[in-house]
Structure formats: C-alpha cells, structure tokens
Amino acid sequence: MRKRTLIALAITILFLILTNKTWLIVKPMIFHLNASYNGNVQFIIDLNKKDNFEFKKFKSGSVKHTGNGSLNKINIPVNRIKKAKAVRLTICGDDIVNQKISITNVWLRKPKYSLNNYNKYESKNAELKVNDNSLVIIPKSKKCSIYYKEPLNIRATFKFEFLIFTIIFILSFALFYKLTYYLADFKISKNHSRLDILFILVCTIILFIPMSHISQAKCSENENRNLAKWKPFIKKDGSINYNFGKHFDSYFSDRFAKRDELLDLYVDLTFNLSGDIYRNRKAFINKKNGFGTYFDLGNALNNRQTLKFGREFQIAEKHLLELKQFCDSNDIKLYILVTTEPLDIYKKELLPYKDKNQNVIEHKQCKQITKDTGIPIVHPIDEIKEASKYGLVHFKTDHHWTDYGTYIGYSSLMNVIRKDFPNIHPATESDYNIDYNNTLVRANENLGYGDLNYSLHIIQKNK
C-alpha cells in the first residue's frame, strides 16, 4: 500500500511539473520610463532572454501614445518572460525625425532595477545626448532603437494559483493512485503478460504529451485568429466559473503541444484526398481554379449578409435619411458606393450549379433606397462584370476588390458625381500604380494570400 502511494505521489508531482503553467502564472515584466515629446509615438520594448544583443530569442511589448511636450509616464508590459538579460527600446513615428525625445526615470520590473545610467546607452538610427539627468534621443529616421549595454539579470515574479494547484493535485493523485492499484493487480488477477502492462503504461504516457507544452501565444499566425484565453475555475471576485469545463476545453484545444504540426498534417491529408472542392466549416475553395469563398457549399444561396425587405429595411432607410439630412444641413453632397460580392461576379468559378438567373439582392435594394430617399447609391455590378472579362476584379482568396476592381468602382462612382459636378476630371487608370497580381492581396505594402486561405489553413498550397 505504501509503495503504491509513493509511486502515485511521484507521478502526481511529475504531472504538476508538466502543468505548472496553469497554477504558476508568470506576471508581466513592466518597463517604465518618463518621456517628453510631441506627436504620435510608438514605444516598443524587447527583452532578450540571453545576455547578448542579437535579440534572436526575446519577448516584446508596445504602447502607442500622443505627447504634447509635457512629461508622460509610459508603462510597457512584456508578457510570458521569466528573465531579462538585455533590453532594447524602439521608437517609431512618422514625425519623430530630428525631434527631441527626452526620457528619464527608466526602470524594469520594479523601480529598484534602475536603468538610469544614460552613458551606457547606445543607439541605432538616432543621436544620443545626456542633459540634466535625462537622456535626449534625436531620431534620424522614422524608426530608431536604443540599447542598454550593461548586462542584466532580472527575473519575473510569479503568481501562485493555490485553488487550481489544489484541484489538479487532488484529482491527479486520485487518478494515478487508482491506476497504480489497477496495474499492480493486472498480472495476478487477469493473468496478463508484462507486455500488456508495458503497452498500457506507454499509452498512458502518450496521453500526457499534449499537455507537455501549453502555448502562451495570444493569436495563431497560421489561422489569423485569437486563441482562447485561460478562464479560472475561481474568478477574481471569488465566484465560481460554472462554464469552466467548456472554457478549459477551448483553451486546451487551442494550445496543446504540437497542435500546429497536427493541424498541418490533417490539412495536407484532407486537401490532397478531397475532390475538386476542399472545404471546412468556414469556407471552401475550388482546387481547379483557386477561387474560394466564405460561404459553405450547402448554404451559399441563403447566407447572403443582406437586409430583408420589411422592418429591417425600413430602419436602414430611416438612418440613411438622417444622414442625408445632416449632410444637406451642412451643404455636403452625399454619395454611397456599395461593393460587389465575388459570388455575383464569379458564379461559374465558385459554384457551377448556381442559378444563373438569380437576381442580385443588393442591386435591387440599392435601387429601392435611391428611389425612396433620393440618395445616389452606386452598386456597379454591371461595370464590374464587364471589367471581369479583362482582368481579375475580386481576389481569388479574399472578398475584397483587386486594385483593378477598385479602380472600376471608383470610375463608376465618379460617373455619377460628374452629373452634379461636370467640371470634375476623374483620374485615369494610367494615373495609378495598379497591381494586376491575380493571387496576392496587398495591404500596407505587404503581400498576403487573403483571409480565406487563413480560414482554410492552406496558405502553403497556393504559394
């Protein structure tokens, strides 16, 4: 009995170590400074886990703040870091070039960990000056960095969740005690071999692999979504979270060890074994031509995000009339441009079986609103359809217009505006630097593969 108890206790201790992130919470490490500057500035703090300045393994935090020349207290929390051995402060802003940014009272985690020896700072893309017990930073570009060259060894503080620890300890000890009791009598009472016992032990150990590393990331880059957050059984106000089981299931499902690798394997198998259409609960894609949409195949005809004629439609018209009255009272001419849907332009590519004679709901609604309110609503579906014969007007894996489609929408709007303002001269297509790429989505000068590919988790398939 004592031997079984000790074995169960040893396994329980190992289990507690593997699940320590649930009951031993790392508190955010706070980087503090007082700063004086003008304009919009973003402060980014990077804390390196190693005592070098390569910053290949670090954690970051950032804040955006608008200064008016007075002294501002800036606190930047950095999450999920146990120790900091080097620090880098990056300052970004469109109007910071050659402007003076003065910082004082710099400390990390607690005021006693002071970083106020300003002679030990070095910079990149900035000039540094020490003046009146403050560090003056003069950026030479829209992004500059300063480094504190003295090695650090600052450790984070931890929060011990006693209730969670107690629950895990009691339940796991009861489970492992029962398991050791069963295994001890397994060979005698059931006449099984040691190979059977070894098989059960291996299977039991495998069950603990998913919890060997719980991801602390806030979002999934592969899926482009926020991950489920930890919600304790006992809330901060002392009340009980009666949905703890559901919340824990969501948290664990999003963060267990090797989740991304298993998801990639699953997607590879289902993508390669599926027919011409690959889909999940969120979206589908036609593998023959690369076109996709968020609508599920079975509900593509009925899930349109449109107003229904009736009370909902009347409320929308009422709000639009209020907007028109405001514009009229301020001598503003109101025009509204409504984008098209990929399903209305690329029916054959997306849904070959879709009814070709189906009326476009949005187009009928736009005409009705214009008739009822007098507001010119431009829904250029005919122009977009015509333009689609000569180039891609909607991205294959995103519902937005392409550069070319956006220009067609702009031209359609300007044609309506010119009826009221004939002296306006619209820009021509040659006036723009239009990207005619048929796959990639451009955002903030970066290229991406569209939100739909993130939803389907198949970005690598379209590269």
β-strands 377-378, 225-226 pairing: unpaired
Query: Residue 248's domain spans which residues?
Result: 219-257
If we measure between CA atoms, which residue out of 291, 285, 289 comes closest to residue 455? 285
Torsion 238-241-245-250 (CA) sign: negative
Is 317 within a domain? yes
Specify the residue for token string 């973003």.
42
Structural domain count, the chain = 4
Are the C-beta atoms of residues 55 and 48 closer than 8 Å to each other?
A: yes
Bin 402: left if φ > 0, else alpha if -120 < ψ < 50, else beta: beta
Specify the residue for token string 């009736």.
310
If we measure between CA atoms, which residue out of 89, 97, 95 comes closest to residue 135? 89
If we measure between CA atoms, which residue out of 356, 334, 353, 333 comes closest to residue 344? 356
- Cβ atoms < 10 Å from Cβ of 402: 24
β-strands 154-155, 143-148 pairing: unpaired
Residues 201 and 225 in one domain: no
Residues 287 and 233 in one domain: no
Residues 234 and 296 in one domain: no
Query: Could you tell me what percentage of the chain is helix, strand and coil, using 3-state DSSP and rounding each to the nearest 5?
Result: 40, 25, 35
Is 273 within a domain? no
- Segment-wise mean pLDDT, segments of 10 residues, the chain, 463 residues: 82 87 86 90 90 80 85 89 91 90 92 89 92 90 91 88 86 84 62 65 77 80 80 86 90 87 83 82 80 62 53 86 93 92 82 54 81 90 91 86 92 94 89 73 61 70 49
For the record, the structure tokens of 101 come out as 């940014």
Is 107 within a domain? yes
Residues 297 and 408 in one domain: yes
Is 407 within a domain? yes
Instruction: Give strand ranges (E) for 52-125.
Output: 58-78, 83-84, 86-92, 101-108, 121-124
Residues 228 and 319 in one domain: no
4-10, long-range: CB < 8 A, 24+ apart: 4/177, 4/180, 4/181, 4/184, 5/177, 7/176, 7/180, 8/173, 8/176, 8/177, 8/179, 8/180, 9/173
Residues 144 and 165 in one domain: no
Q: Which one-letter DSSP state was computed for residue 355?
A: -
Residues 224 and 251 in one domain: yes
Are the C-beta atoms of residues 419 and 452 closer than 8 Å to each other?
A: no
Residues 18 and 33 in one domain: no
